[in-house]
Amino acid sequence: MVPASASLHCHDTRSLTGTEAKMAEQVKLIGSSNSPFVHRAAVALRLKGVPYEFIREDMSNKSELLLKHNPVHKKVPVLLHGDRAVCESLVIVEYVDEAFDGGPPLLPADPYDRATARFWAHFLEEKCLKSLWPALWTEGEVQEAAMKEARENLALVEEQLREKRFFGGDSIGLADIAGAGLLGHWVGVLEEVAGVRVLSDKEHPALRRWAAEYLANEAVKECLPDRDQLLSHFSAIRDKCVSVAKSMLPK
């Protein structure tokens, strides 16, 4: 699991180069394997070739470690790099890209392209996810309205993906990490548990193609939870999904 370049025998970090010293500092990821947000952080670490210890968190009984390192949100993922804690999945992805030199860059070099990548990552997070959740878990007129909005947002993503392999170009980048796992893997499970269809091969061919390419990536496969496990998990917390959806509706 640990790449050869990171198997350091020397424990005195003062004599190492900056990168080696950083790599020698322990990297830990606190998370739950059912979370698409934790998946984002794990994918970033794997794409950059950063070895890490995964600390499984029981979200129904939060640990002292989690509460100490994410007192503000008390959520996963939390990345621990040495004694430094980084919270919020997309902040973690940018941190991993900047702190570690290995692997391909997760954001492009050109500032305008970077702004575009951040725009779509934010869109996938803020608009897609936030409209999908009520579309899946509410009912009647409320659901119809949420579904309309969700489909409009997905159509915008579909349009973008007609022109590109990944948002990041030829390789997986920030926006892909933000959305492909969610839309390609988690949504299928949620649709099954909710009994509601949002995505289709007919209406979202580019999105399907993008998700499939993302899911075929080796680094992604290594940290993708098993579908049956997710099905079991979300079936068990169905009521919670419904109440979260209700709380997201405009008042």
Number of amino acids touching other proteins (CB under 8 A): 24
Residue bearing tokens 């025998």:
9
Report the chain's terminal Cα–Cα distance, integer Å. Answer: 49
The distance of closest approach from Cβ of residue 71 to other proteins in the complex, given in angstroms and rounded to an integer, is 8
List the structure tokens of 63. 């640990």
List the structure tokens of 104. 């391909």
Q: How many helices (H) and strands (E) does the chain have?
A: 13, 4
Q: Which of 29, 30, 86, 194 binds other proteins (CB under 8 A)?
A: 86
Residues 152-211 that bind other proteins (CB under 8 A): 156
Instruction: Supply the DSSP string of 92-136, one letter for each residue.
Output: HHHHHHHH--SSS-SS-SSHHHHHHHHHHHHHIIIIIIHHHHHHH
The distance of closest approach from Cβ of residue 250 to other proteins in the complex, given in angstroms and rounded to an integer, is 8
Binding flag, residue 84, other proteins (CB under 8 A): yes
The distance of closest approach from Cβ of residue 159 to other proteins in the complex, given in angstroms and rounded to an integer, is 10
CB-based contacts of 194: which residues, under 8 Å, 6+ apart?
136, 137, 238, 241
Interface segment toward other proteins; rule CB under 8 A; list 13-21, 85-93, 162-170, 180-188: 85-93
Cβ atoms of 54 and 31 closer than 8 Å = yes
Q: Which of 45, 66, 78, 92 binds other proteins (CB under 8 A)?
A: 92
Whichever of 139 and 152 has its CB closer to other proteins, that residue is 152
Whichever of 78 and 187 has its CB closer to other proteins, that residue is 78
Binding flag, residue 62, other proteins (CB under 8 A): no
Whichever of 98 and 222 has its CB closer to other proteins, that residue is 98
Peptide bond into 104 cis (omega under 30): no
How far is the C-alpha of 166 from the C-alpha of 146, rounded, in Å?
A: 27
Helix (H, G, I), strand (E, B) or coil at 22: helix
Residues 100-159 that bind other proteins (CB under 8 A): 111-112, 114-115, 118-119, 122-123, 156
Whichever of 177 and 224 has its CB closer to other proteins, that residue is 177
Binding flag, residue 87, other proteins (CB under 8 A): yes
Q: Which residues bind other proteins (CB under 8 A)?
A: 71-72, 81, 84, 86-88, 90-92, 94-95, 98-99, 111-112, 114-115, 118-119, 122-123, 156, 251
